[in-house]
Structures are given as C-alpha cells and as structure tokens.
Amino acid sequence: MNKKFIKKLIGRAGLRTYHHLKSHSSAMYYNYPARGMKVIGITGTNGKTTTANIVASIFEAAGYKVALLTTIQFRINGKESINSMKMTAPSASDMNKFILKAKDAGCNILIVEATSHALDQHRFAGINFDTGVLTNITHDHLDYHLTFANYVQSKRQLFARGLRLSVLNIDDKSGKLFLTEPAEMHLIYSLKSHPKSVSLLKVTKGSEYNILDIFNPLTNRINKLQTKLFGDFNYQNILAAYSVALGFNIEMKHIYDGIKSIEFIPGRMESVELGQNFKVIIDYAHTPDALEKMYKAINDIYKSSRMISVLGACGDRDKTKRPILGSIAGKNADYIIVTNEDPYTEEPQQIIDSVASGIELGNNNHKIDSTYWKIFDRREAIAKAFSLAKEGDVVTITGKGAETTMLWGNEPRPWSDKQVVKEELENIRH
C-alpha cells in the first residue's frame, strides 16, 4: 500500500502505530533475532557513520564478531556490502532479516545508526538496546519533524528505553537533556577539559598520524591514541567510540589498535589522489553544521590554500537549510559551484537556485559567473572546479559522500562522486 496514502488516511499518530505493529510483527516473525546480542544504537545529526565504524573497529580489534548497519554499508563478521537503499535504517523487515543473518554468523555485537525517522516510526520495536550514543543534534529534517523540539524528542526515544550504557556529547546544547534519561551508566565526552568526562586534552599533529591525549575519568589517567582522521568533529567521534569501549571494559591496547587502523571512512573527508597538484576531498556534509565544521577542519590544515567548493542540496527534504548551506559556502570558499544532488520529485534547478540564493548573503563578495556558478550537471560542475584549481588549492565536493546512486523521482540512477572525480582527474592528465 502506498505510504503517502496510508499517512493521509490514518494521520501521523496512526502512522506511528502502524509502524510499531509492523516492526513488532517483523521481530516476532524472525523470532526476535537481536536477543542475546549487545545492541549499540548511535543517533545524532552528524557523525553517526564515522562513530559506528570506529566503534566496530575497536570491537573487532578486541576479538568480537561484529555486525554493522550504517548509511554506507552492511557488515557481518568482516564481510561487507554497500548500502545502496538511500535509507540509513531500513524497514523493520529488512532490519530483522539482517540481524538474523548476523546472529547465524555468530555476531555478538550489533551496531546500528538510529535515525530520528526510524525512532519516530518505531522501526526498532522488538530490538532491545544495550547502549545509546548521542553525537550531536543540529538543523536537519525539519520538513518531517516540523520543529527542532520534536526532532530532539525523537532522538530521546532511544535513551528513554532505560539503557545499560548512555554515551553523550556534553558539548552539544541538547546533551544535558539526555542525562535525565535512565541508564545504569552515563559516560559524557567533551572536547574541553572536564573532570567527569572523557576529555580531549591535546592534539599533536604529525606527518602521518595525529596523537590525541584523552583523559579517562574512570581511571584518572591520560591515554595517548593515534589517528589519521582530523578535525574537531572527527575527534568528537573518536571520543564517543572510546567512551563506548570504556563502557564495555575493552582493554586499552584494543582501543588503540582499533582507532589507529581507521585510515578513512568512505565518503567522509575522503581524499582522492591521482597525482594532481591540488587536493580533492569528498565529504557527505549535507547539513549546515556538518558543512561548517568540514570547512573549518580543512582551513585549519590548509591555511594558505584557496578553496573551491562543489555543493547542492537534496530534494523533498528540509528546504529551510538550502540558503543556509549557500551562505556557509559563501563565507568559507573562494570559488563555489552549486549543482544538482538528489532532486527526488522536485525541480532540480529550483533547488540549485535556493542554495545559490544564500551565497551573496552577509557581504561575502561573491558574484555570479565570477566567483560562483550554477551548473546543473554534477559532472560538469566537478570538471569546472578542477579547471579553476591551481597548485596547492583544495577542491571540496559535498552532499553525496560514498553514495552510488542519484535519485530522480523514484528512479535511482548510477552515480559516484569518487568515480566521477577519478575520471575527470584522468581527463586532466591526458
């Protein structure tokens, strides 16, 4: 039955009941496959995928058999496939089918991204979470939740269940709200020094690895960890994963090895090198907060470099953030190309125009066809960025990350930013 018809027929509250019953029925059909597994749910606007991958890497280093379900991948005991569903949390039926497969493979740890949509629609009904992690809550999905308060409340549902372990970003404005939710153990983490939190005390930047000095409040000791990831937002993700590991009493050597082994997360600050004399970085940043943090991280590393930014916005989603994305690009990038992303059922050019409308806000000194362009075709937009790039520049391509399709209406068309970047870089070489 058509979802839009169901929603219109029974209303929002009825739709939640419908999903709740459907999810319980699915869990029952597969004989509640999550029972006997430690389920770790990671929620937040940004950072879920990176945090989930770091957590998985730590548990795998410690010898656990891990199942991982994220925006970009499905992994069962080391065997991985791409998530091409354009959904972070799949339907209850697909989710329980995946969990049963993981259980049959002997997995004892299940790590899932718990999105606000999935929580609001009770897609996890019948799955008992051991651990909940909050990365952050910023502007997103207001087309669905209508208000920021509703958005926050949807994420609190994960923690209202009464968890064994609750891991919270206390730097986030909403973090303290979640401390009121019941848990046997609360662990908070922060980029600032805080006597009761897992705290990042110092970052020493090296040629290959950054060294993080992290305060462990459970032992009152400082642990040194190595990582190839950079940027405050990635350090927060590492702190979150480190906190989960502490809550499971994982030995420090396994935490160290698990974090150090992560070279990059596909489509998350992923650098593409084909011998060109400028940097190319692909990132999934599609919210104002994520985009701003990505620009800051890159500017901190490549201080004297010009930045050329390729970006767009998704159709059939929160329209209010589109000019905000443009404004943030306008403040941070020297040259900007606004292009098509995932239009869904909207007119792509209208989305492009909406993003571009924010570029000249705030006296950013940008002028159309001089320092910013509106180019409909995403491949042409990437090629334009490369044509502008000079030695030492940084080209950022945001919004799609590791995705392998572009949605036009209900039709997924093959698309990979990374593949197109490689092809266009090859064109430059020849």
Structural contact between residues 88 and 115, judged by C-beta atoms closer than 8 angstroms: yes
Give 78-97 pLDDT, tens digit per residue: 999 988 766 666 788 888 99
Q: What are phi and psi of 329, to 5 degrees?
A: -60, -40
Residues 162 and 22 both lie in one domain:
yes
Identify the pLDDT of residue 144: 62
Q: Within a domain: residue 132?
A: yes
Domain-ending residue, one of 260, 295, 315: 260
Rounded CA-CA distance 99/393 in Å is: 45
Q: Which residues of 300-325 are buried (b: 16+ CB within 10 A; e: fewer)?
A: eeeeebbbbbbbbbbbebbeebbbbb
User: b or e along 329-359 (b: 16 or more beta carbons within 10 Å of the residue's beta carbon)?
Assistant: bbbbbebbbbbbbbbbebebeebbebbbebb
The better pLDDT of the pair 227, 18 is held by 227
**Average pLDDT of span 15-43:** 84
Asked if the model's pLDDT at residue 4 lies above 60, the reply is no
Report whether pLDDT(1) > 50: no
Q: How far is CA 426 from CA 31, 156, 281, 382, 421, in A?
A: 51, 47, 16, 13, 9
Q: What is the dihedral of CA 247, 66, 414, 324, to 10 degrees?
A: 0
Residue 428 carries which side chain, given as an amino acid letter?
A: I
348 is a domain residue: yes
Which pair of structure tokens corresponds to residue 220? 């009152």
* Prediction pTM value: 0.90
Beta strand segments in 191-260, E: 198-205, 210-216, 221-227
Are 210 and 226 a contacting pair, CB within 8 Å? yes
Q: Are residues 170 and 103 in the same domain?
A: yes
When the pLDDT of each residue in the chain is averaged and rounded to a whole number, the result is 90
pLDDT in tens, 275-323: 999 999 999 999 998 999 999 999 988 988 999 999 999 998 889 999 9
Q: What is the CATH number of the domain that holds 118?
A: 3.40.1190.10
| Cβ contacts of 413 within 8 Å, gap of 6 or more | 405, 406, 407
Q: Which of 61-65, 310-314, 360-364 has the lowest mean pLDDT?
A: 360-364
Residue pair 378/343 in contact by the 8 Å Cβ criterion: no
Domain C-terminal end among 260, 288, 323: 260
403: CB partners within 8 A, 6+ apart? 72, 84, 86, 267, 284, 415, 416, 417
Tell whether the model's pLDDT for residue 412 goes beyond 70.
yes
Do residues 310 and 424 lie in contact, with contact meaning Cβ atoms separated by under 8 Å?
A: no
Stretch 343-358: mean pLDDT: 96
Rounded-to-integer distance, Cα 333 and Cα 133, Å: 33
Query: Does residue 67 share a domain with residue 31?
Result: yes
Question: What is the spatial distance between Cα 122 and Cα 175, in angstroms, rounded to a whole number?
Answer: 22
136-145, 153-162, 202-211, 301-310: lowest mean pLDDT where?
Answer: 136-145
Shared domain check, 275 and 236: no
Residue 103 has pLDDT above 50, yes or no: yes
User: Could you report how far apart the first and last alpha carbons of the chain are, in Å?
Assistant: 52
Residue 406: CB atoms within 10 A of its CB come to 20
- Residues 100 and 182 placed together within one structural domain of the fold: yes
pLDDT tens readout for residues 387-401: 999 999 999 999 999
* pLDDT per residue as tens digits for the range 313-337: 999 888 999 999 999 999 999 999 9
Statement: residue 163 has pLDDT above 80: yes
256 and 280 in a single domain? The answer is no
Number of domains in the chain: 2
Tallying the residues shown for the chain, one arrives at 430
Is the same domain home to 291 and 152? no
Query: Is 84 domain-assigned?
Result: yes
Burial, 29: exposed, middle or buried (Cβ in 10 Å; 0-12, 13-18, 19+)?
Answer: middle
Q: Which of 196, 226, 260 is the last residue of a domain?
A: 260
| Structure confidence at residue 87 (pLDDT) | 62
Domain with 345, as residue range(s), is: 270-429
Does 265 fall in a domain?
no
Sheet with strand 307-311: strands edge to edge: 270-271, 279-283, 394-398, 307-311, 335-338, 372-374
* β-pair type (405-408, 411-414): antiparallel
In the predicted structure, residue 53 carries a pLDDT above the cut 90: yes
Closest CA to 287 of 240, 321, 312, 329: 321
Sorting pLDDT into bands at 50, 70 and 90, what band is 45?
A: confident
CATH number, domain containing residue 365: 3.90.190.20
Residue 99 included in any domain: yes
Residue 10 covered by a domain: yes
Question: d(Cα 228, Cα 203) in Å, to the nearest integer?
Answer: 12
Looking at the structure, tell me whether residues 252 and 294 fall in a common domain.
no
Asked if residue 210 belongs to a domain, the reply is yes
